[in-house]
Amino acid sequence: MKKVLLLWFLLALCIEAKDYTKHPQTIALMKTLQKKYYFSATELHTLFSNVKVQKSALRAFTPRHKQKKRKDTRTPAQIEKSKMLQKKYGSWGRYSRHVVSSKRVSQGIAFVKKHATTFDNVEKEYGVPKEYIAAIIGIESAFGKNVGKYPVFDTLVTLAFEKNRRNRFFQKELMKFLHLSKTEKFNPKNVKGSYAGAIGLVQFMPSNYNAYGVDFNKDGRITLQRADDAIASVANYFKKNGWRKGEPVATRVKYEGTRFNKHKTGYKHSYHRQQLKGISPREKWDYPNKVRLIKLNKKKYDELWYGAKNFFVITRYNHSSYYAMAVHQLAIKIKAGLKQ
């Protein structure tokens, strides 16, 4: 009990309540909200006068050289275990072993079956396979089990007005979030999300909520905490970013050697396959367009893949080749499980 009380005390010390109503940039933003979105001065004063500063969120967007050096509190055994894991798995293995786990696959299969009608209807309307939609939701929020514990309003205010490298971005997201609270009729103080202010099963930032959110159940609100709206919103995101119905995503290829450095790899670089001498798919792959070379670093070798246009589309959700490959591999396993 004493340890629990001490933990709560330490957490309380880390959460500083602050009045932002006299902050020059906040004043300007409140004036815009009154003029553009019809907020009253009273409700804005209530919102901004008592904000809990989210210091842990702020640290994520503060340049490392400006952060106070934090003492490594790990035991020698924990440090040694960390080093052992790095050597054992390689960077891809360390990244993927939790993201594309057997537990995540079984959860994905159950999630698709539970919402089968919605997935079928969304796939017909948007042309995006259900397994890729499910994989995104699985990686982003563990199918709704982890949508975030940060108060979104307080987090966005902290990141908008406390000095960090993305103040302007978060000021725009704060504006979008408050506008959403009007159009979708919710109390902005009651929404929880990620350390960056991302919301719901799909972890959309407020601006993406506006751009890609879908009211699929036709209840007059876009609610990304609900599976039906979340499923359709992922599909809409993919479609608007260029998803090509019926085309492949990626295939593993072979090359000479164990480490690959012949060409630049990653989703930013594309090639005609004629340029890639000595590289060929391990299985038949009838895809005539340009490909990306995706390299997965493992302990003893580099695993190499071709990524098609649809692979690139997945990177629009998160600008990482490893993320997109995790989505692809999780999707393939969910699809296989659904056939059993």
Q: Tell me which residues are annotated as active site.
A: 140
How far apart CA 194 and CA 205 sit, in angstroms, is: 9
Amino acid sitting at position 186: F
CA–CA gap between residue 149 and residue 136 (Å, rounded): 19
Cα 15 to its chain centre, rounded Å, is 25
Residue 299 DSSP symbol: S
- Residues paired with residue 110 on neighbouring β-strands, in sequence order: none
Tokens of 302: 């580099």
- Dihedral Cα 103, 105, 107, 112, nearest 10 deg: 180
Tokens of 280: 């060929």
- Paired strand residues for 294: 305
Among residues 267, 281, 202, 205, the alpha carbon closest in space to that of 236 is found at 202
DSSP bridge partners of 280: 254
**Residues 13-45 as b or e (16 or more Cβ within 10 Å = b):** eeeeebebbebeebeebbeebeeeeebeeeebe
Beta bridge partners of 151: 192
Query: For tokens 């990244």, what's the residue?
Result: 95
Residue 130's nearest CA partner among 105, 101, 147, 108 is: 108
Phi and psi torsions of 178, nearest 5°: -70, -35
Alpha-carbon distances, residue 20 vs 44, 192, 201, 227, 340 (angstroms): 10, 20, 30, 35, 56
Cβ neighbours of 333 (radius 10 Å): 20
